[in-house]
Amino acid sequence: MQRTHSSIIAFLLLFLATTTFAQREETVIGSNGLGFSGLWGGYKHQISQFGTTNSYITGGFFGFEFGKALLVGWGTYELKDEVKWDQLQSQNFEMRWRPVLLQYGFKNHRPIHPQIGIEAGRGRIKLDDKSDNVFVTTPTVGLEINVFRWFHLALDGGYRFVTDSSITGLSDKDLSGPYAQATLKFGYSWGRWHKKSKKPSHYESDK
């Protein structure tokens, strides 16, 4: 699975470079740079699927905001429900993971705005007395609502990709699946949003 991990890391680096460039083009002109603009943390609540079972996942996250658009941080999540595997008699299943978080919002100054994100990191699964390390990647897309300046609510969804499972009867496909989530986000973003001014088409520089 070394190639899989390398591909994921390459995707994360490409994602970060793309969002950084986009933010500079839109809001960062002159001496400001892609500056540190806020601190955010909160809780995520997921409804997901393991095999044929719908399950509840919860966790928390914390991150640093840059350029009033890019959030870089980390989180920790765990499965809260009992999962019943049709092909296995043992039902004592646990799953936890701690990913790195990258999230980018488009026009965050608007009350409702789109956002995309990706989380990736190591996790651990346990089935009775057997345990194994896995790698979890969860891309997301959705909408964020600015309820208050210090409280945002996000509704989004995505797909959980799990790799490196080696417990007999639990394949990567069994552990992967779609999910929908609600995020309660608390924090503060300082400074004002500055829109890049556009020069009119007839503009001519002074000579």
Phi-psi region of 191 (alpha: psi -120 to 50; beta: other; left: phi over 0): left
Structure token digits, residue 174 = 């069994």
Judged by DSSP in three states, 89 sits in coil
Q: How high is the pLDDT of residue 205?
A: 45
The answer to whether the Cα torsion of 11, 16, 19, 20 is positive or negative is negative
The residues spanned by each domain of the chain are 2-25+39-189
Write down how long the chain is: 207
Q: Residue 27 in contact with residue 68, Cβ under 8 Å?
A: yes
Q: Residue 102 in contact with residue 75, Cβ under 8 Å?
A: no
Instruction: Sort strands 151-163 and 130-148 into parallel, antiparallel or unpaired.
Output: antiparallel
Model confidence over 44-63: pLDDT tens digits? 999 998 877 789 999 999 99
Q: How high is the pLDDT of residue 131?
A: 92
Give the Cβ contact number of residue 11 at 10 Å: 14
Tell me how far apart the alpha carbons of residues 114 and 156 are, in angstroms, rounded to a whole number. 9
**Residues 6 or more apart whose Cβ sits within 8 Å of residue 181:** 44, 45, 46, 47, 140, 154, 155, 156, 157, 158
Tell me how far apart the alpha carbons of residues 95 and 75 are, in angstroms, rounded to a whole number. 14
Q: Residue 5 in contact with residue 164, Cβ under 8 Å?
A: no
Decide if pLDDT at 39 tops 90.
yes
Q: How high is the pLDDT of residue 151?
A: 97
Instruction: Sort strands 112-127 and 130-148 into parallel, antiparallel or unpaired.
Output: antiparallel
Model confidence over 74-121: pLDDT tens digits? 999 999 988 877 777 767 889 999 999 999 999 988 999 999 999 999
Q: What value does the mean pLDDT of the chain take?
A: 82
Q: Given 2.40.160.20, 3.20.20.70, 2.30.42.10, 3.50.50.60, which CATH number is that of 2-25+39-189?
A: 2.40.160.20
